[in-house]
Amino acid sequence: MPDGTQPLNSTEALAKGVMEEVFTGNVAWLDDVHNIYGRWTQGMLGTVQEMVRLWEGRFHEDCEACKTLSACHTPLDLQRFGQAFAAKASQDYAEGLGRLLHVAVEALGPRAARGPHG
């Protein structure tokens, strides 16, 4: 192995050139990987946050529904409660899925289609 005072022979110079080329190419590749995984991580975090928001909200609604259900005294009360509960649950799930879709579109949106350097 040469020290800093000896000139490189042709094999060492070639190896140094190849390694510099590999490192230069890998820096750009690693930057792309970093951008892709960063977007993926943000997308997954947003997805999990939206799912937790939906589950938490619906859990609260379901607990309240148990209280209301126990106050029903007639079949008509039960029917009204059931219709209102189903309508509210459907609305909540539709809004939650809309938010999840929005997060997915943002994560995979136009920036992702162009690539990290586009």
- pLDDT per residue over 7-35, tens digit each? 556 777 777 777 777 777 677 777 877 88
- pLDDT per residue over 43-80, tens digit each? 888 889 989 999 999 999 999 999 999 999 999 999 99
Task: Please tell me the predicted confidence (pLDDT) of residue 41.
Answer: 86
DSSP labels for 14-56? HHHHHHHHHHHHHHHHHHHHHHHHHHHHHHHHHHHHHHHHHHH
Q: What pTM value is reported for the model?
A: 0.58
Distance, CA of 61 to CA of 40 (rounded, Å): 32
95: tokens are 């809004």
- pLDDT per residue over 34-50, tens digit each? 888 888 888 888 889 98
